[in-house]
Amino acid sequence: MKIEVIENVLKYNKDQADKNRKLFKDSKLLVLNLLSSPGAGKTSLVLETIKRLKGKKNIGVIEGDISSTYDAEKIGKLTDNVIQINTGGSCHLNASMIEQAVSKLKIKSLDLLIIENVGNLICPSGFDLGEDYKIVMSSVSEGDDKPVKYPPVFIKSNLIILNKMDLMEVSDFNQDFFENKVRELNSDSEIIKLSCKTGFGLEKWISWVLDHCKVHNNQ
Amino acid sequence: MKIEVIENVLKYNKDQADKNRKLFKDSKLLVLNLLSSPGAGKTSLVLETIKRLKGKKNIGVIEGDISSTYDAEKIGKLTDNVIQINTGGSCHLNASMIEQAVSKLKIKSLDLLIIENVGNLICPSGFDLGEDYKIVMSSVSEGDDKPVKYPPVFIKSNLIILNKMDLMEVSDFNQDFFENKVRELNSDSEIIKLSCKTGFGLEKWISWVLDHCKVHNNQ
């Protein structure tokens, strides 16, 4: 009984995600679903991305939080194309929430939509939003064992970002250990190391975004 | 229909938590449920607590993770009284998991049981395990906005720990902002600032534990 209900929820979400995916494809929009623990630096990356692509790409942002408009207010200083979703306690975004948020954005004018999921390294990875790519962001201060302890999100992500590289010197983070553990789970996805604070590695991230915008728009 | 099922799950969990609570009380055991984001430093705090209370208090530990025995192996170097629960994907511990784990510990010989919940700042706070106290650990590297964005766990916790104080100098964490936001949600619970890395503030934490063991055992 319980399992049946859960299956129905996931089936319903998948159907809505497929509708979102079709809309995104028809709109020639690259859609990224950004996942991480609380405080890993998702919002900082979104802010840096908007700043660095200003005048080159029109970017929309959906901010997911269980409450507050704190992050959307930060993004709102750089662009009007931002919508805050408050899940009201739910630990992840789902495809229906994205459908509603997208209806309030002028997506025909956008090149890129970044969805900043609720800060949670577990639940969001199970819910397809219709995105092109899932991106997991880990951070040096969280420690090098995250792939060992939270495998699903590393398995399912198309890109792995390691943020807060500026803290490497004051931490005992073992980069080889982290990379090897990621590779055991996911041999294909690129790992980009960066620091939103110092700017280190951000040019690689921006290149990744531009490369995938181009690929997407040529389809 | 969906709501009914969820209510049944929570009711079932509450009933089991009440059974756990009675067992813990009969065993004169202080039980702490430690909650945080991934990588905030829960395991480091458990390790420091065992080291500093060696010969004074017998401590049992239940480690909750979605997979791996990584943390239990670290704890296992200091004590045999450790059980790893792998939730197999579930984002929180529940009272039935605790019942099973406790049956494998010699709890009559213990003074203190620390339950390290799955690293997740959202879901675990909704599940009563039968503990005496919920403790939320935030860390400087996660940023000062966690109470704003994840209110429920700060509302429900009986103690707030701020870890990684050693990183304060290299961060833009605003301690007044953090404390004010915690106080808006929870005016009663103590805030202990510490660093598991340098040892700063750990004597306050140890005093808190000893004070509550004593109160508990005098009941």
Which helix (H) or strand (E) segment holds residue A159: the answer is strand A159-163
Q: Could you tell me the pLDDT band of residue B134, with boundaries at 50, 70 and 90?
A: very high
Can you give the pTM of this predicted structure? 0.94
Residue B104 has pLDDT above 90, yes or no: yes
Using a CB–CB cutoff of 8 Å, tell me whether A39 touches chain B.
Answer: yes
Whether the CB of B12 is below 8 Å from some CB of chain A: the reply is no
- Dist CA A26 CA A20 (whole Å): 10
User: Greatest CA span in chain B, whole angstroms?
Assistant: 53
Q: What rounded mean pLDDT belongs to chain A?
A: 94
**Does A218 have pLDDT greater than 60?**
no
d(CA B70, CA A53): 41
Rounded CA separation B129/B109 (Å): 20
Cα–Cα distance, A130 to A20 (Å, whole number)? 5
ipTM of model: 0.92
Tell me the HSE value of A48 on the side-chain side, using a 13 A CA sphere.
Answer: 20
Of A9, A68, A143, the CB nearest to B148: A68
For A99-146, what is each residue's pLDDT tens digit?
999 999 999 999 999 999 999 999 999 999 999 999 999 999 999 999
User: Looking at CA atoms only, how far is residue B219 from chain A in angstroms?
Assistant: 36
Does residue B39 belong to the interface with chain A, where contact is any CB pair within 8 Å? yes
The C-alpha atoms of residue A78 and residue A71 are separated, in whole angstroms, by: 12
Chain B hits for A143, Cβ within 8 Å: 39
Cβ neighbours for B3, distance < 8 A, ≥ 6 positions apart: none
The partner residue sitting opposite A37, judged by closest CB among B37, B67, B166, is: B37
Is A167 in CB contact (< 8 Å) with chain B?
A: yes
Q: Which helix (H) or strand (E) is A2 found in, with range?
A: helix A2-26
Q: State which residue of chain A sits closest to B44, comparing Cα positions.
A: A143
- pLDDT exceeds 50 at position A40: yes
Q: What is the mean pLDDT of residues B167-185?
A: 97
Nearest by CB to A39, which of B5, B143, B170? B143
